[in-house]
Structure 1
Amino acid sequence: MARSHLTLAALATSAVAELDVVGAAPFGSAGRGDFDAAVITGRDGRHWIVRVPRSERAEQQQSADLVALRALSQGVRARLPFEVTTFAGQTPVDGTRAVVSEFVYGTPVTLAGIDLALADSIGQAIAHLHALPTSLVTDAGLPMRTAVDAHRAALAIVDRAAATGLVPAALLQRWEQAGEDQGLWQYTPAVVNGDLGAGSFLASAGDVTGVLGWHALRVDDPARDLYWALGTRRDGIADAVFDAYTRVRGSVDRRLRQRATLLSELDVARWLLHGTEQRDTTIVDDAVTMLSRLVDERLGDATESISPPTLPILAVDEVEALLDRAERVS
């Protein structure tokens, strides 16, 4: 049974001794989702979020979120162009705990609601996150994954998906070629949120104001935080995200978008594997449909290639001119 916002307000006052509550309202969908949550208004006008997990998975996620938030010190936060919530207190309840954190202002973002200005702000926000020192993750004992680890994980997913016999041959060949492309996996791991999507962002007036959900904070492949943007087929949105990212970070990873494209496709493979493991024909059928759509949308689109970049093909006279120039130089 869902806890009321008044019950949650009472828990908030137990969690934060100095909190003087003057108002409370439900937050999110009451009785649904992973958490019971409410927005609390203090007498000083500040707002807070109190959340109680509704499942073991949600409780684990909440615990990981708290560890990550502690790792994001004030000095680290000052480098980010958006707000990150601050832990305020907690109190035990029914075998779990209610956690109170500072409210971050902004309107939740949807994939369909991203325009070019917001896409630019999102790309910049992610780039600033990836520019943080990796020591903040190592010092907190959070996970680290090398490029070699990420490569092996991708190969394992491809092998398992191939074993189902449900992946279109053309798509499987594309993934296998990507696995053999050593250049695709030559990148420097960075600090990543690890679970970004459109819903992770809060925005106001076309700018990102906050990022929610830090339970997967780690050092990993930067493409993990960007591949979700390829889910929109609206012209220019994904380009704007990647262009803004590159403008901030520079050309530190020339194969970033190609790897992000691969990860977005392997996400569908994971959905397929989840369906086969659960023996859920509805999920399996949905994944097969998505794989077929990938064949139609990606394989004939040069902008979505994950193959090694090739040099332009030269005409015979251009080759002769190059050879002649090389001979004169030598």
Structure 2
Amino acid sequence: MKMSPYHLAALAVVAIDGLNAVSIRGPYSSSPDYMYGGVLDSRGKHWIVKVPLNTHASTAIEAEAGLAPVLMERLRHGQLPFDIMRPAGFAPMETGRAIVYPRPLGKSIDFDDLSTDQAHELGRTLATIHQLEPTTITDAGMPGYDADMVRKRLLTELHDANAAGNIPAVLLRRWENAIENSQLWHFTPAVVHGDIASDNILWSEGHVSCVLGFGEAHVGDPAQDFASLMSGLDESLFDAIVESYRNSLNSSIDEYFFTRIVLLSEIALARWMMFGIRNQDPAIVREAEGMLDELAQDVASDPDLAPGPVWNVDSLEDGFVPEVADDLTFSSAPSAE
């Protein structure tokens, strides 16, 4: 579905009673899940229109809108140092409802372009989210999973992906071994953002000014919010994020936190393949399968990445921060139940 900026502006007029749109404004962009556009009203107020492009995106928009009042309450009580989306109205569409909200302060920055100080700021932001009371999420109707539920859901997701697509056998064994190793899944469930991406983090004067995209929020494994960062960031930036994250927590991370980050960053390729299958996008499916094949070749050719009996990231002493991500090496360990 393709929409012009003027079409998006018209949705804002439908969503906000009495809004008199006078011009379109940026940002105007799109992703596989959403389209975004801006509109300026006659009083000089800048609005953002966010349009879901599929059922999953529509569900996420509704979830974020439902969570917003609870997060606003936390913001008023000083528990959040950043702003959030403030829903102002909705416009019906075939794919669900477009949401309209005042444009928040700040601009997104590609994570690869972060400075070390900004990476530290992102780590502190993640720690703030993860240390919210779990009832912040569950009281708004968002899901909560304990460690065993996270593991079982991940195994079901993996089997569904294997049934629907083409996961190389060496990866399937590798991932199943890790998921079935109960030692890896002893963690305290925490509030998880669920979609840590550069366009969901807005910056102003070097600080995180607003966090968007809470539609995937839940109580679960905090390692999930680091998976995309490990796979997509320069090592020094990732290490800076981890350093500030650990220093900002009121408790220690669990022993196998980094192991699960690696696991989830790899399984993200299977999730990308499933996204392509669900949306009948053969280009995405081919891309995901190519990345899966490349990872499978790396695993098959490197003894330290071999699939069995199970792989682990070397556990860390409390307080240790790796100088580079290479310090997190793989080693074999016996499977335990």
Distance in 2 of aligned mates of 1:109 and 1:204: 10
The equivalent of 2:67 in structure 1 is 68
C-alpha contact (below 8 Å) 1:37/1:49 kept by paired residues: yes
The equivalent of 1:270 in structure 2 is 271
SS class of match (1:72):
helix
Give 1:161 shift: 5.6
Identity %: 32
Q: AA paired with 1:206?
A: G
Distance in 2 of aligned mates of 1:95 and 1:277: 15
The equivalent of 1:320 in structure 2 is none
Stretch of structure 1 that moved more, 155-164 or 64-73 = 155-164
Stretch of structure 1 that moved more, 20-29 or 293-302 = 293-302
Superposed CA RMSD = 3.7
- Gap change, CA 1:237 and 1:296, over 3 Å in 2: farther
* Structure 1, gaps ≥5 residues long: 313-330
- Gap change, CA 1:73 and 1:153, over 3 Å in 2: same
Distance in 2 of aligned mates of 1:292 and 1:49: 39
Distance in 2 of aligned mates of 1:16 and 1:273: 36
C-alpha contact (below 8 Å) 1:40/1:50 kept by paired residues: no
The equivalent of 1:106 in structure 2 is 106
Distance in 2 of aligned mates of 1:9 and 1:288: 38
Distance in 1 of aligned mates of 2:98 and 2:62: 11
Trace 1:211-222 onto structure 2 (pairs within 5 A): 211-222=211-222
Q: Does 1:25 align with 2:30?
A: no
The equivalent of 1:132 in structure 2 is 132
Q: AA paired with 1:251?
A: S
- Gap change, CA 1:95 and 1:211, over 3 Å in 2: closer
Q: Does 1:307 align with 2:306?
A: no
Query: Please, what TM-score do these two structures have when normalized by structure 2?
Result: 0.75
C-alpha contact (below 8 Å) 1:66/1:87 kept by paired residues: yes
C-alpha contact (below 8 Å) 1:53/1:59 kept by paired residues: yes
Trace 1:8-157 onto structure 2 (pairs within 5 A): 8-9=8-9, 12=12, 15-17=15-17, 23-29=23-29, 34-35=34-35, 37-41=37-41, 43=43, 46-53=45-52, 55-76=54-75, 78-90=78-90, 97-157=97-157
* Structure 2, gaps ≥5 residues long: 318-337
1:140-187 C-alpha deviation (Å, 9 max, x unpaired): 221112211111122234445666674252x44432331232221111
C-alpha contact (below 8 Å) 2:110/2:198 kept by paired residues: yes
Distance in 1 of aligned mates of 2:316 and 2:125: 32
The equivalent of 2:256 in structure 1 is 255
Distance in 2 of aligned mates of 1:128 and 1:297: 36
SS class of match (1:28):
strand
Stretch of structure 1 that moved more, 186-195 or 249-258 = 249-258
Distance in 2 of aligned mates of 1:168 and 1:13: 52
Give 1:261 shift: 1.0
SS class of match (2:29):
coil
Give 1:30 shift: 7.9
Query: Please, what TM-score do these two structures have when normalized by structure 1?
Result: 0.76
Q: AA paired with 1:180?
A: E
Distance in 1 of aligned mates of 2:144 and 2:275: 24
Q: Does 1:180 align with 2:180?
A: yes
C-alpha contact (below 8 Å) 2:9/2:21 kept by paired residues: yes
Q: Does 1:204 align with 2:204?
A: yes
- Gap change, CA 1:237 and 1:212, over 3 Å in 2: same
Distance in 1 of aligned mates of 2:270 and 2:283: 15
Distance in 1 of aligned mates of 2:279 and 2:100: 35
- Gap change, CA 1:311 and 1:261, over 3 Å in 2: closer
1:166-223 C-alpha deviation (Å, 9 max, x unpaired): 4252x44432331232221111111111122233211234322211212112212111
Aligned length: 307
The equivalent of 1:167 in structure 2 is 168
1:92-137 C-alpha deviation (Å, 9 max, x unpaired): 5789655331211222122322332222111110110111111122
Trace 1:222-233 onto structure 2 (pairs within 5 A): 222-232=222-232
Higher radius of gyration, 1 or 2: 1
Distance in 2 of aligned mates of 1:111 and 1:259: 21
C-alpha contact (below 8 Å) 2:258/2:313 kept by paired residues: no
SS class of match (1:124):
helix
Distance in 2 of aligned mates of 1:11 and 1:277: 27
Q: AA paired with 2:142?
A: L
